[in-house]
Chain A
Amino acid sequence: MLETALVSGLGSGSVYGLIALGFTLTFAVSGTVNFAQGSSMMLGAVVCHALAVGWRWPYAAAVPVALVACALWGAVVERLAVRPFVRRGSDAWLMATVALGIVLDNAVMALFGKEPRSLPSSLADEPIVWGEVGVFPLQLLIPAVLLAVALGLHWALRRTGLGLRLRAAVENADAARLMGIDVVRLVALTFAAAAALAGLGGILVAPLFNVAYDMGTLFGVKAFAVAILGGLTRPWGVVAAGLAYGLVEAGTTVWLGSGATQIITFSAVILALAAAPAGVFGRGRVRV
């Protein structure tokens, strides 16, 4: 039972973490998020399915192209649904990003169809079995990808010029601007990266689940809860919160039954935030 909770929890928690890292990136730099992260996740899976299954591209080509499509989508969200509102000092980007996500979901529904489809993968075909516990290789890959992405971000933020500029923008956007840093472009870049991260989550989870126009909705909501829990601006906090959320979810189902899963998991989120309003792994005041 414990092994099941660990395997299931770490797998789903890693996907929540990947999507939630996207929230962190954009919030840290611009104080805004793309509430359509769930749609970005779906876009990654759908484009990958269209290329790999529909056009029979090898995954080595389909996955990068799907991620680029997600990144472009992220940049479009920033340009159309965030920048115009932020410039006018309005918080309407909240609604605008949700609305744009709904537009994307429905556009995909029209193009891709309403029926869920399968994304076949040799990594989700034959499980590796230890006693009563089996895992698909993909389930081991997902947490590894999450950790690699988090480490990569950590390194890039500290060791690259782009990372330095990003950190400067996070520290003080006005000062960064005066130093000649193009903060507007940086913000667009973080939205593109955030959508690509969500798309990566979608591609990774699709062979275990399936591909559908509405697959991102629940993942998006859970990932946002994870991002808040993790402290929004703390990448490692978000990673830890993602894994913790997945483990609590799977553990509740294993030990208390599926009827208790959503009640316990979301109650735990509320309790955790009541105890630490800035997020369990967060610091300082909450900005809303």
Chain B
Amino acid sequence: MIDRRGVLLAGAALAGGRVSRARAAEPIKLGLVAALSGASAKSGEGIARGLQVAIDEVNAAGGLLGGRMLELVRRDDESNPGKGQAAARELIDREGVAALFGGIDSPVSLAIVPLANQTKTPFMGVWAAATNITRNGAEPNYVFRVSAVDVLVDKRLVKHAMGTFNAKSLGLILVNNAWGESNQAGLTAAAAEAGIKVAGVEKFGEADADMLPQLQRLRAAGADCLVLVGNAAPGAQVMKSLQRGAWSVPVVSHWGISGGRFPELAGSWAGRVHFVQTYSFFGPQGAVGKRVAAAMMARYPDVKGLGDITPPVGVANAYDAAHLVAKGIAQAGSTEGPKLREGLLAIDRHDGLIKSYVKPFSPGNHDALDENDYVMVKYNGESIEPVSG
């Protein structure tokens, strides 16, 4: 005969069973904090699409941890560090996301880094390239990245300026924020290492309408190639100001300009800029490249051709990053932050879109990409195409 205690235990066991079944079906939430509006809105949309295509693939293959589906929860940081940090906190505290993905703006990512480390929530950068996002001094460090790193991009930009444009004297025209600062240090060091002179450094604000005075200073200082670091709207103003000043100097640029409507805003001089990306959907594609392009066209009606997969860097980085996080969760067997962190560090190999990753993360290196993974590109109309050199 079952006594009262037995009934209670049986009830508890049944309830527990229900709870564990409920947990099995409960989705694993992944958070995205990115610019979904404003001048860099295209970057956020590209990132969200790359993440979603990867998430669809993981879910179609049965999900993770015994059938739990992945779910993307998006928040708009409006390119504002304060709003980004608040959104990240909300995603961690209220939505209970297993990991966070970041957007284009380094200042926003830099604001989220301490929060990620304090709350032990893995934070995966997929665009913002400031060196100290991943190299932030925290131990343990919960910040990872599948994107370029300023200090390495800067080396590549200097190399391209010298190799393709035979530059002898660089003019730096940089956005006046933490990202610009990060690149000023990186470009100055890269130029010194390559033995090329920096003729001058000029800054502009995000909302500046006329960059001609700054450009004329660089022209007067003898710059024969400009290095541009800024997002699409002010980057376009730089090109318009160059056009106005009739100064047809070569321009190499960091990739911020590809995060908005640069070709529309910059007008006829948009195609003159050579800039860095981590991936191009043009040229010979591997199996993953073909699959992602097909999935993008199937899922998003406005993607009718390869040129519509924009910004390619946002899509590609986010796609690989989402798969790496999924692999990390599978490896950890858990969505708990510390375990997921260990899971990411334990990934041995992953055949991704940008490349085949071998030990993408290690305790001393949280950046999955390096300078060998960068390609130089330019706009042809709205499309982004590789340039040689």
Chain A interface residues (CB < 8 Å from chain B): 1, 4-5, 7-8, 11-12, 113-118, 120, 124-125, 127, 129, 132-136, 139, 205, 208-210, 212, 214-215, 217-218, 250, 253-254, 257-259
B39 with A116: CB separation less than 8 A: yes
Residues in B neighbouring A214, C-beta threshold 8 A: 207
Contact with A along B34-48 (1 / 0, CB 8 A): 000111011000000
B38 with A115: CB separation less than 8 A: yes
Q: Is B260 an interface residue (CB 8 A)?
A: yes
Shortest C-beta distance, A278 to chain B (Å), equals 30
B41 with A253: CB separation less than 8 A: no
Q: How far is the CA of A8 from the CA of B212 in the complex (A)?
A: 7
Chain B interface residues (CB < 8 Å from chain A): 37-39, 41-42, 78, 176, 202-204, 207, 209-210, 212-214, 216-217, 219-220, 233, 236-237, 240, 243-247, 260-261, 264-265, 267-268
Residue of A nearest to B38 (CB): A114
Q: A218-B207, A258-B204 are in contact. Are A115 and B41 (CB under 8 A)?
A: yes
A132 with B261: CB separation less than 8 A: no
Q: How far is the CA of A134 from the CA of B243 in the complex (A)?
A: 8
B261 with A116: CB separation less than 8 A: yes
B268 with A12: CB separation less than 8 A: no
From A7, A118, A133, contact of B261 by CB (8 A): A118
Q: How far is the CA of A114 from the CA of B41 in the complex (A)?
A: 8
From B78, B207, B244, contact of A135 by CB (8 A): B244
From B37, B214, B243, B264, contact of A118 by CB (8 A): B264
Task: Beyond A212-B39, A258-B176, list 9 extra A-B contacts (CB 8 Å).
Answer: A4-B216, A8-B213, A115-B41, A127-B244, A134-B246, A135-B244, A209-B210, A210-B233, A259-B203
A254 with B213: CB separation less than 8 A: yes
B37 with A4: CB separation less than 8 A: no
Q: How far is the CA of A217 from the CA of B237 in the complex (A)?
A: 18
Shortest C-beta distance, A286 to chain B (Å), equals 30
A114 with B217: CB separation less than 8 A: no
Residue of A nearest to B42 (CB): A115
Q: How far is the CA of A117 from the CA of B237 in the complex (A)?
A: 12
Q: How far is the CA of A213 from the CA of B51 in the complex (A)?
A: 29
Shortest C-beta distance, B201 to chain A (Å), equals 9
Q: How far is the CA of A215 from the CA of B233 in the complex (A)?
A: 12
Q: A208-B210, A210-B233 are in contact. Are A125 and B268 (CB under 8 A)?
A: yes
From A12, A118, A254, contact of B209 by CB (8 A): A12
A132 with B210: CB separation less than 8 A: no
Q: How far is the CA of A114 from the CA of B217 in the complex (A)?
A: 32
Q: A116-B260, A127-B244 are in contact. Are A210 and B265 (CB under 8 A)?
A: yes
